[in-house]
């Protein structure tokens, strides 16, 4: 039986072509993560057959009603080979809802020919005219807002999962994003992750944060010799990076459970993780991660910074079944501020109201 897959697009997933080549699969969705989430939700709600999907630790809770718990399905050997912290991020409601693939944290890349040193804090970024780029829409924008709030001592949600967005710290975070956007290319408000990477590699900006999966294009690009890695900028109170795990899940509408489990075992294997590592990703597979050998001094720096960030600076959202709707409303409100259609105070009020409504 042909396995029906829903996958994220972009450079981080291009390496899967080698894994899937020659296998009886049909990729029915191939899109950026927000688009993927919407299409998967529509298809699963309609009862459409999907055998395996790519998801994320922050999104799987919103899909849990349609997913099979993997605790009694995935082999102990497969799960045991993965970093326990990554596995824990993929649990929700007591069950393992997805199998972690890669651990995502951001690293700052900066132009050594344009800046004297890497900006080490958000304050330095706003003080210098350094052409800093960031996602101007969707999950990347809301995630950057999250980092600014937490780095400066604030919170978006209480320990009980209640929204506590409305604060002076959140207003300051929106104002910071607006100041940075005003110094960046005029089309920043339309950028997703890939457009940030492209702007950096085209020399349109002098610094930007990138996920591990973007390292391949950075390493192989024309500006490779001029770009250097550095820790993500710190806030006043904390150094943090909005983080999580790309992962694999099996929906309840799976029509070939044995086939899907076989593919899941392959995708969770050391050989597939090693392919991910070649592209710059940080696999959740412990042995594959441990065997990564830097190709040069820059790569050694990148890996050291990434490992330190994973150990010291990871932050993530609480598991919320309505998180996608909160994120959607949040980024749209912040995007309106970036484009002068909304004040920072109004933006924060909109996010707080949307979160309260979603979680009521």
Q: pTM to 2 decimals?
A: 0.86
Please tell me the predicted confidence (pLDDT) of residue 78: 95
Q: Does residue 280 register a pLDDT over 90?
A: no
Confidence of residue 360 (pLDDT cuts 50, 70, 90): confident
Q: DSSP assignment of 228-281, as one string?
A: EEEPPPB-SS---EE-EEEEEE-BTT-S-HHHHHHHHHHHTSHHHHHHHHHTT-
CB 55 within 8 A of CB 63: yes
Q: Does residue 15 register a pLDDT over 80?
A: no
Q: DSSP assignment of 225-242, as one string?
A: GGEEEEPPPB-SS---EE
Name which of 140-144, 236-240, 242-246, 277-281 the model is least confident about.
277-281
The alpha carbon dihedral of 269, 271, 272, 273 has a sign of: positive
More confident residue, 301 or 310: 301
Instruction: Please state, in angstroms and rounded to a whole number, the distance separating the CA atoms of residues 349 and 101.
Output: 36
Q: Which domains occur in the chain, in start order?
A: 3-104+244-290 (3.40.190.10), 107-242+315-359 (3.40.190.10)
Please tell me the predicted confidence (pLDDT) of residue 8: 86
Average pLDDT over residues 145-155: 97
Phi, psi (rounded to 5 degrees) for 67: -110, 150
Phi, psi (rounded to 5 degrees) for 336: -65, -35
More confident residue, 281 or 5: 5
Q: Does residue 107 register a pLDDT over 70?
A: yes
Mean pLDDT score across all residues of the chain:
93
Residue that has been written with the tokens 């969770």 in this structure: 268
Please tell me the predicted confidence (pLDDT) of residue 9: 79
- pLDDT tens-digit readout, 325-341: 999 999 999 999 999 99
Q: Does residue 279 register a pLDDT over 90?
A: no
Q: Does residue 12 register a pLDDT over 80?
A: no
CA distances from 111 to 201, 217, 223 (A): 10, 15, 9
- pLDDT tens-digit readout, 169-215: 999 999 999 999 999 999 999 999 889 999 999 999 999 999 888 88
Rounded to the nearest 5 percent, the helix, strand and coil shares of the chain are 50, 15, 35
Please tell me the predicted confidence (pLDDT) of residue 43: 96
Confidence of residue 11 (pLDDT cuts 50, 70, 90): low
């Amino acid at each position: 039986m042909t396995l029906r897959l829903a996958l994220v697009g972009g450079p981080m997933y291009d390496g899967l072509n080698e894994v899937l080549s020659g296998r009886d699969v049909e990729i029915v969705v191939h899109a950026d993560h927000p688009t993927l989430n919407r299409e998967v939700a529509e298809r699963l709600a309609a009862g459409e057959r999907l055998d395996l999907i790519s998801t994320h630790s922050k999104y799987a809770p919103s899909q849990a009603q349609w997913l099979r718990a993997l605790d009694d399905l995935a082999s102990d050997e497969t799960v045991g080979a993965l970093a326990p912290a990554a596995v824990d991020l993929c649990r929700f409601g007591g069950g393992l809802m997805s199998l972690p693939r890669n651990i995502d944290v951001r690293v700052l890349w900066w132009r050594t020919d344009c800046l004297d040193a890497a900006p080490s804090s958000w304050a330095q970024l706003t003080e210098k005219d350094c052409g800093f780029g960031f996602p101007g829409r969707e999950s990347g924008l809301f995630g950057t807002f999250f980092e600014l709030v937490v780095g400066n001592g604030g919170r978006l949600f209480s320990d009980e999962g209640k929204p506590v967005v409305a604060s002076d710290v959140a207003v300051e975070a929106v104002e910071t994003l607006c100041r940075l956007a005003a110094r960046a290319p005029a089309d920043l408000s339309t950028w997703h992750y890939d457009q940030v990477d492209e702007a950096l590699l085209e020399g349109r900006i002098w610094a930007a944060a990138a996920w591990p999966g973007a390292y391949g294009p950075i390493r192989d690009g024309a500006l490779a010799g001029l770009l250097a890695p550095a820790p993500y900028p710190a806030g006043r109170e904390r150094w943090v990076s909005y983080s999580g795990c790309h992962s694999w899940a099996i929906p309840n509408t799976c029509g070939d459970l044995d086939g899907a489990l076989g593919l899941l075992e392959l995708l969770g294997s050391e050989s597939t993780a090693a392919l991910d590592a070649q592209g710059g990703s940080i696999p959740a597979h412990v042995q594959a991660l441990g065997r990564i050998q830097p190709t040069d001094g820059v790569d050694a720096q990148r890996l050291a910074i990434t490992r330190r960030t994973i150990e010291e600076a990871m932050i993530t959202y609480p598991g919320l079944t309505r998180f996608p709707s909160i994120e959607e409303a949040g980024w749209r409100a912040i995007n309106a501020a970036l484009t002068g259609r909304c004040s920072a105070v109004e933006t924060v009020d909109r996010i707080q109201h949307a979160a309260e409504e979603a979680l009521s």
